[in-house]
Copies of this chain bind each other. A is one copy, B any other.
Amino acid sequence: MNEQQWIKELLKVNGEDVKLSEKQIKILEAAIEIFAEKGYASTSTSEIAKRAGVAEGTIFRHYKTKKDLLLAIVNPTLIKSVAPFLAKEFVKEVFENEYQHFEDFIRVLLKNRYDFVKKYLPAIRVFWQEIAFLPEIKEQLQFIFTKHVYEKFKKIIEHFQKKGEIVMIPPESAIRMIITTIIGFFITRFIVLPHHNWDDETEKAEIERTIQFLMHGLLKK
């Protein structure tokens, strides 16, 4: 039951708990696991039912279709993926006190998203594997990105460009490099080489290197 805690938290909307029966959690858990392993289209509902320990009909009592089950995983993951940028006070916090230097901001952002990825990894795998085939979700992601993430990110970039901390390139280029570098690290860390010897030391060092790479790459010369 304890291991399923993360699923409940993933599904939380606006910090409010969503009611999930025991069986519903087992279904989600099984679905995320198998979707991540073999992909949505190659996973049969009977397999999900078996792994979840419920009757196949029970899945359809909770999720009208197999696709609805996928969306029940993918939608919250989308929201939580860009969560920091959805907070109203986010930009203000960056400017007002908390982040004297651009590096502070990057460091906190990376740490925060790192924790997120580590916690929800299986759901995130499903999300990125399936998004290519979910045009509605892709559009929603684009919308949220453009409206919330990009706008706020841009302000922050411009702020530190004016402060003379980072190089004068188009903000969208800087944003791309930051995101690319961070996600690149996560993919290496969790997908490509998850079994590599990632002890605390090694990991901290690699994170530090990644931050230094980013900082120097963007530094005002």
Q: Which residues does A use to contact B, with CB under 8 Å?
A: 38-39, 41-42, 129, 132-133, 169, 173, 176-177, 179-181, 183-185, 187-188, 206, 209-210, 213-214, 216-219, 221
Residue from B42, B173, B221 in contact with A216 in the complex, judged by beta carbons closer than 8 Å: B221
A210 near B133: Cβ-Cβ < 8 Å = no
Residues of B close to A181: CB separation below 8 A: 177, 180-181, 184
What's the Cα separation between A129 and B133 when bound, in Å? Answer: 10
A133 near B209: Cβ-Cβ < 8 Å = no
Give 17 new A-B contacts, CB below 8 A, not counting A176-B184, A177-B181, A179-B184: A38-B133, A39-B39, A39-B41, A39-B132, A169-B209, A173-B209, A176-B185, A177-B184, A177-B210, A177-B213, A180-B180, A180-B181, A181-B184, A213-B217, A216-B216, A216-B221, A217-B217
Instruction: Tell me the number of copies of this protein.
Output: 4
Report the 9 A-B pairs with minimum CB-CB distance, sorted nearest first.
A180-B184, A217-B217, A41-B41, A213-B217, A41-B42, A216-B217, A216-B216, A177-B213, A173-B209
Residues of B close to A38: CB separation below 8 A: 133
What's the Cα separation between A188 and B174 when bound, in Å? Answer: 13
Residue from B39, B184, B185 in contact with A133 in the complex, judged by beta carbons closer than 8 Å: B39
Chain B minimum-CB-distance residue to A215: B217
What's the Cα separation between A38 and B134 when bound, in Å? Answer: 9
A188 near B180: Cβ-Cβ < 8 Å = yes
What's the Cα separation between A169 and B210 when bound, in Å? Answer: 11
Most buried by B among A42, A132, A214, A218: A132
A-B contact pairs, 6 of them (CB 8 A): A41-B42, A176-B185, A177-B181, A181-B181, A216-B216, A216-B217
Residues of B close to A133: CB separation below 8 A: 38-39, 42
A180 near B176: Cβ-Cβ < 8 Å = no
**CB proximity of A106 to chain B, nearest CB, Å:** 13
Residue from B184, B210, B218 in contact with A213 in the complex, judged by beta carbons closer than 8 Å: B218
Residues of B close to A173: CB separation below 8 A: 206, 209
What's the Cα separation between A219 and B179 when bound, in Å? Answer: 21
What's the Cα separation between A219 and B216 when bound, in Å? Answer: 8
